[in-house]
Amino acid sequence: NKVWAVVPAAGIGSRMQADRPKQYLILNNQPVIVHSLQRLISHPLIEGVVVALSANDPYWPSLNLPSHWPIHTTLGGEHRADSVSNALEFLKNLTQRDPWVLVHDAARPCIRHSDIDSMLQQLSDDPVGGILGVPLSETIKRVNADNTIEATVDRTGLWRASTPQMFRLRGLAEALTQAKQCNINVTDEASAMEFMGLVPKMVAGHADNIKITLPQDLALAALFLQQQNN
């Protein structure tokens, strides 16, 4: 049974401080978002992708994506969760089924098929779903407002949450709606499911699935893509 992907791509990339949203910056000869989409679309179990875009995004039309790519676009929202919500509503109108949906940041161009495979293998029979992540590797400090160290946090069981985040279409749409109604700020899909009292799983992914966020991340991603191809 095939799954769908949702790609939030309506952010402005303020931390990147570039002349355009980071998903449209060039990485190894093509825009970041094209890498991300290509890796999703070329996966044999992904049926199609719904991309959430900013209103009047001038960059999207000039990508000239291959017309046979199974891509639909919809309008994003103020926050990432709003963009994802809109894409899920679009998808609800497209299918009567309740497929698994992989929500994947446009700004994560280094996602590997093997990580998607791990997710599908480990979560397809799960009652809730889950996310891709990586255990923390550094010592973690809790710091006060005056930059004094309050504590060293026990790293056991602490992971970085990344994407894809894999949940059922209808349950995820409902969870995001509920979280918004209750004014809960969710920065990922799993938080919304947790808010509903559900228990998502963590799937170990590769550390090279970085989110392009800061200026130096582009060079890092270029190196990772090159390594993956060798």
Binding site for ligand CTP (CB under 6 A): 8-15, 21, 23, 52, 76-80, 83, 105-107, 211, 213
Is residue 8 reached through a cis peptide bond, with omega within 30 degrees of 0 on the bond before it?
no
Q: Cα 54 to the chain's mean position, in Å?
A: 16
CB of 87 or CB of 193, closer to ligand CTP? 87
- Phi, psi (degrees; rounded to nearest 5) at 208: -85, 0
Tokens at residue 93, please? 């109108």
User: Least separation, in Å, of the C-beta of 81 and ligand CTP?
Assistant: 8
CB of 62 or CB of 148, closer to ligand CTP? 62
User: Least separation, in Å, of the C-beta of 191 and ligand CTP?
Assistant: 14
- Checking phi first, is residue 227 left (phi over 0); if not, alpha (psi -120 to 50) or beta? alpha
CB of 22 or CB of 43, closer to ligand CTP? 22
Exposure string over 22-41, b if 16+ CB within 10 A, otherwise e: bbbbebeeebbbbbbbebbb
Give CA separation, 168 vs 20, 73, 223, in Å: 33, 20, 34
* Residue nearest ligand CTP, CB atom distance: 11
User: Least separation, in Å, of the C-beta of 54 and ligand CTP?
Assistant: 8
Q: Which helix (H) or strand (E) holds 172?
A: helix 169-181
User: Least separation, in Å, of the C-beta of 132 and ligand CTP?
Assistant: 14
Cα 98 to Cα 67: distance, rounded to the nearest angstrom: 26
User: Least separation, in Å, of the C-beta of 14 and ligand CTP?
Assistant: 3
User: Least separation, in Å, of the C-beta of 163 and ligand CTP?
Assistant: 8
Helix, strand, coil % over all residues of the chain, rounded to 5: 35, 25, 40
CB of 13 or CB of 130, closer to ligand CTP? 13
CB of 144 or CB of 221, closer to ligand CTP? 221
CB of 75 or CB of 202, closer to ligand CTP? 75
